[in-house]
Amino acid sequence: MQPNSTLFDGNRPTADALFSPLVLNKTPVRNRFFLPAMQRGSRGYKPTVGMAKTLRNTADNGPGVIITEGAAPEHPASYWQPAFSILGKETADEWGHVVREVLDTGDVVLLMQLWHPGALRLVVDGIENPYPDHPAWSPSGLIQEGRPNGVAMTTQDLQDTKNAYVDSAVIAKGLGAHGIELHCAHGYLLDLFLWHETNLRSDEYGGGTLVERASFPAEIISAIRAATGPDFIISVRFSQWKEVDYGARIAQHPDDLGPFLTRLEQAGANVFHISARRFDAPGWPLLDPRRSVASWVKTMTDLPVMTIGSVGLSTDLASDVFDDKEPVLQVEDDVVRVRQGLDAGDFDMIGVGRAQISNPDFVDRVRRGDYENLRDFKKYRDLAEAYESYSHEGQLVDQSRKGD
Ligand SMILES: Cc1cc2nc3c(=O)[nH]c(=O)nc-3n(C[C@H](O)[C@H](O)[C@H](O)COP(=O)(O)O)c2cc1C
């Protein structure tokens, strides 16, 4: 923690829950906001100088935690499109620049997200891919029920992939990041293990329960913990929804969550990050019309819980980016709801994604109560460069099968 921080004075308690400090593992965090991982600043499988500038600018405006965009471990199965980074030896220098720029702003906490495309990887003509003949990898060769792509991973493939994750985490630590976030959400590789539709394995990596299907992510967490030591932050991000199926569930009932969370915590996780389409939507409306998935998780663990979903915006990411339902701004109202959620103990940190893309000064404005002239989020304007840089043909999002 920098002594000259204007955003967090650890000796002065603040009445505003949003700007009260907390601790992730052993690292103090200045407030309850985080920037989530958002792939938009990589080209040629490497982060750009523009990414470093954008993240630096956002960090300067005050979120407690910055999470870098999903980067894959170095392995042929991880290469999808050059707009999605690799975090490996070949890209460590560029990532080092990003880390230095963000940490140079002061007392922000930096987590680097480790992601893997899994079965969503599609190689298309005209898109630079150094391993076009390598198949997509996943637990059972499925994107979702009845939709094959690539092959099921062998035990050796699992071992190699785990080692590649560990290498990435060790690089992240060496660059100075406070920790990593393991992406187990949205239908990508590690989520395909968690989801019953896509994990049909009969070995020790499959099973009828969520806790059984968590074996591979738990092994990766243990291995990263062993390689990075006790102080490194390991956040685990998971979601019910998938890009290919908004109505999907990895936990059919809240009871599925307890053993799953315990297993991940025992493996070495020390933050849970629940990605929701809307942060305060009830997880199981019939059981409790108020409680979000994050809020259920809070009742089952003492670890800090992050959540996210449509803060400040009227439509969620998937409807917005994939289905063209453009959101309108509702920042002031949502900030009230976020404060209520924090006060009720529903979560410990809140993520702001798209609204922080269009307003890198979002957190500073909330701190000042200045809601005038906030910019709305328009994907074709705010993500124009990112949109131009990747192949839409190389995306496997299924427009035909999505719950509301
Ligand atoms: C352009 C863009 C790229 C994204 N890339 C990632 C990513 O790399 N990893 C990830 O876990 N989520 C990714 N997401 C999802 C965000 O982390 C976040 O969960 C989502 O935008 C919902 O938050 P919001 O409603 O505040 O925007 C991305 C979202 C956007 C808009």
Chain segment 157-197, per-residue pLDDT in tens:
999 999 999 999 999 999 999 999 999 999 999 999 999 99
Whether 320 has a pLDDT exceeding 80, the answer reads yes
- Alpha carbon of 351 to ligand 1 centroid (Å): 10
Name the one residue in this structure whose structure tokens are 């409306």. Answer: 285
Tally Cβ neighbours within 10 Å of residue 3.
Answer: 8
% of residues, the chain, pLDDT over 70:
94
Nearest C-alpha to atom 3 of ligand 1 is from which residue? Answer: 38
Please choose from 317, 375, 377 the residue to mutate so as to test ligand 1's pocket, defined by most ligand atoms within 8 A of CB: 317
Asked whether 352 lines ligand 1 (CB < 6 A), one says yes
- Alpha carbon of 285 to ligand 1 centroid (Å): 25
Segment 330-345, tens digit of pLDDT: 999 999 999 999 999 9
Strands 147-148 and 151-152, sheet pairing: unpaired
Asked whether 276 lines ligand 1 (CB < 6 A), one says no
Dihedral sign from CA coordinates of 84, 41, 49, 380? positive
Atom of ligand 1 nearest to the CA of 181: 11
Nearest C-alpha to atom 19 of ligand 1 is from which residue? Answer: 275
Mean pLDDT of the 129-155 span: 97
Least confident of 10-19, 219-228, 246-255: 10-19
pTM of this prediction?
0.95
CA distance 381 to 282: 32
43-75 in b/e form (b: 16+ CB < 10 A) is: bebbbbeebbebbbebbbbbbbbbbbbbbbbbb
Asked whether 187 lines ligand 1 (CB < 6 A), one says no
Segment 50-78, tens digit of pLDDT: 999 999 999 999 999 999 999 999 999 99
Nearest C-alpha to atom 4 of ligand 1 is from which residue? Answer: 38
Whether 206 has a pLDDT exceeding 50, the answer reads yes
Asked whether 34 lines ligand 1 (CB < 6 A), one says no
Whether 404 has a pLDDT exceeding 80, the answer reads no
Whether 42 has a pLDDT exceeding 80, the answer reads yes
Asked whether 312 lines ligand 1 (CB < 6 A), one says no
On average, the pLDDT of the chain sits at 93
Long-range (24+ apart) CB contacts under 8 A made by 334-343 are 334/310, 335/18, 335/311, 335/366, 337/280, 338/18, 338/279, 338/311, 339/16, 339/17, 339/18, 341/279, 341/280, 341/292, 341/295, 342/17, 342/18, 342/32, 343/17
pLDDT of residue 324: 81
Asked whether 275 lines ligand 1 (CB < 6 A), one says yes
Least confident of 213-222, 310-319, 382-391: 382-391
- Alpha carbon of 353 to ligand 1 centroid (Å): 6
Nearest C-alpha to atom 30 of ligand 1 is from which residue? Answer: 38
Asked whether 162 lines ligand 1 (CB < 6 A), one says no
